[in-house]
Each structure stands twice: as structure tokens, then as C-alpha cells.
Amino acid sequence: MNKIVLAASVGIAVTLAPIASSVLAAPAPQEARQPAAGVTAEEIQKRVQAVFEELDKLPANADAEASQRKLAEIAARALDGIDLQKLDAAAFIAAYQLYQMAGAANSSQYDAAVAARAKLPTADGFAVAVQRASMGSGRDADAIAALLNHPGFNDGFTGPTARAMLTLLDRTSAATLQPYAAKLAGLGSRFTADAPQDTFAGAMSWVRVMRNAGSAPQAEAARKSVVEAAKARLAKADERTKKSLNRMIEVLEGAAMRGQLVGSTAPDLKVSWNTTAEGTPAGWKSLADLKGKVVVVDFWATWCGPCVASFPKLAALRKAYPADKVEIIGVTSLQGYVAHTKRPRVDCKGDAAKEQVELLEFMKDMGMTWTVALSGKDVFNPDFGINSVPYVAILDQSGKVYKTGLHSENDTVIRAAVDELLKKK
């Protein structure tokens, strides 16, 4: 199918699919469950997959309007036999994609059902309320208050529903969260060494939420409690889980999660290689060597589409400021391959020198006019608390962290911060 048509038609569904599928509630008490209608979440997910498979068969050059009509027809057929009123919470949430793709009337029907079900004073009602908030902006004071005061909150705040709720709170302003600091602090009892894994997986988000919502002592108590619980879980974890737990501990013990990042000297990146756009050594070994300049640090990777999409903004940024006043560094780490955009991917596993050569070729292909550095730490740098890229941090002329968590596409905010620092100097 024409990819533009697909994006226009189901972009919301595709974007929210991880949220929708992650909000599957823990089973509610028997008396609170909706009666089953013989259509499970798994069956609905299969129908969604079948719709996408049928879409792929459409001609790539199909007319946009005709393709959208066809999409609605295919999705509407997939709704046969589904009664929203009789689906359990998991199936109800899984059905979101189908109803979004099946045309305005079906989408409106689903929206109305969501509004009604979200009011149910049960764990299922809470799960759907979280889904509803995730589908919209969902982060204003009234929306957050409705979720935190939902009658199904205590029973429903478990497993994937809890993680989805915490993801929402993690993106909510501190001012909105602060009135609920005490209630949020009370969630700490959920993240113990013996907690179910699908619940404990939300522990890191909870610590970040407490850093926004609570006092410094509350935030530090939350961080320490999760570190202690994670270390206790290590003793009985399998190898895969140990890797995840060790990563969690490393991040929680990093500068960002300890509240010692912004306003403090930037953590050492342990740079193993860096190069200018011309392919010559950049001439510095650590961030400390760049004192006297404003430093824009962009964490990125060759496989990261949003990172690559923001390159024109970074190139314009590089052109806008003198190199003796502002340094721009693209920081990545060894990935074992380079995902070239203009040529085939090249595997470099176990060969750092080869990956460096390929990175330089990538820089030339993509017109990268700023310095690129390989950090000894993962691109998801634990000291900076990074959980997604691109991620931009800005250092002042004394080497202290001034701003963090910016997106390289948002050059207006980045330029404003750089200008502020240049004026101060």
C-alpha cells in the first residue's frame, strides 16, 4: 500500500498501538468483569494484523481517497461479531485500532463507549480511563485528578496498566503532579523485591515521577527503595532479567536520577573516538576539555529515524554560531553495525575500527557538519537518564549541565538556551 496513505489513515492507531496494548488490565474481581462475548484480545489483535496484511496488497500508487475508503471497508468487516458492551477490558482496548481505521462513525461509536466504560468504578474502568487519557492530551490537571481519584485506581494500578499510567505521569508537568505527592509516594509499596515483574517494570518511571512530584527527600527515598528492591531481585533472576535489572540499577545510581545532573559538572562520557566533519581528530578527550564554550550534546544513533530527520536543524545550528564559542557534538556508542541511509547497512560487530570508518562515511553521506564522538557508555547514557534518542543536553561555559532532555528537532528551544548562555558570559 502507498505509505503516505497508510500514515494518513492509521497514523494514530500505529502510534498508540504500544500504549493500547500495554494497558491490558489485571483481571478484575469476578463480579466486576464484563461478560465475555467470545472475542478475546488475542483474536482482535489477529484481526488487526489481517487488516494490515490486506492493506499491503493494495497498489503502491493507489489513489489516496480510494485507499482510505478501502481501509475503512476492510476494518469495518473485521468488526463483524464484536460487541463493545460485552468485551472484557483487554479486548476492548485491543479493539481501538480497528474502530479508528473503520471510518468516522465507528470511531465515534468507540469514543462514546470509552467515555462510558471509563466511568465504571472497577479495575476495568480504570484501565480504560488510562487508555482514554493516553489517546488524548490526558496530562492536564483535571485529567490527572480524574485518574488518581478513580474508584478503580487501587485495584487497577497493577501490571501493564500501572506502567501505562506511570508513562502518562512521567510526561506530566511537576506543577500538576505536586498536589498528589503523598498519594504517589504511597505507590512505593507496589515496587518491592517480591512484586510481579510486570508491575516492577514500572518502578523506574515511578522514581522519575517522584522526582517531579515530591520533595527532594521523597524522591531520594523512592530512588533508594527501588535500587534496594532491584538488587534483591538479582539473586533469583535469570540472565535476561539480570541484564535488565543491572541496567535499571545503573540508571538509578546515575547523576540524573540522583538529582545531581542539572547545575552540576557534566558526567564524563569516556570518549574513545571523536572526529570533525572533515575526518580529522576533534582535538579533545573529555567534556572538561571544552570549558569556555557552550556545548550542545546530541545523543543519537544511525538507526534512529528521528535523529537523522533532525540533522538539517543541527547543520543550521552549527552554521549559526562560531566554533570558538559553541561546540556541537553528536554522541553515539558502538552498536555493532552502521545503519546507512544511502547505502546498505554494514555489520561491524567486534570491530571498532571498522565501525569508526563507517561512521565517517555516514557523516559524509548525511552532510553532518558537527563533531561526532563515540562514548564508552551506551548511547542511552545512564548518567543523563536517557531512555530515548535523540536527546540533547546543553552545558555552560564552566562545564556544568544547563539544560537536559531536549529534542534535536526543537531548535528554537536549543537556540534560546545557547543565546542565554552566550549573553551571561
Q: What is the pLDDT of residues 399-409, one digit of tens each?
A: 999 999 999 99
Could you tell me the domains of the chain? 3-252 (no CATH), 271-424 (3.40.30.10)
Dihedral sign for Cα 78, 79, 81, 87, please.
positive
Residue 35 has pLDDT above 90, yes or no: no
With 80 as the cut, is the pLDDT of residue 265 above it?
A: yes
Contact between residue 138 and residue 23 where contact means Cβ atoms under 8 Å apart? no
Tell me phi and psi for residue 91, to 5 degrees.
-70, -40
In this predicted structure, which of 17-21, 101-105, 163-167, 336-340 has the lowest mean pLDDT? 17-21
**For the segment 87-133, what is each residue's pLDDT rounded down to a tens digit?**
988 899 899 999 999 999 999 999 999 999 999 999 999 999 998 88
| pTM for the model | 0.77
On the question of pLDDT at 62 being above 80, the answer is no
295-317 tens-digit pLDDT: 999 999 999 999 999 999 999 99
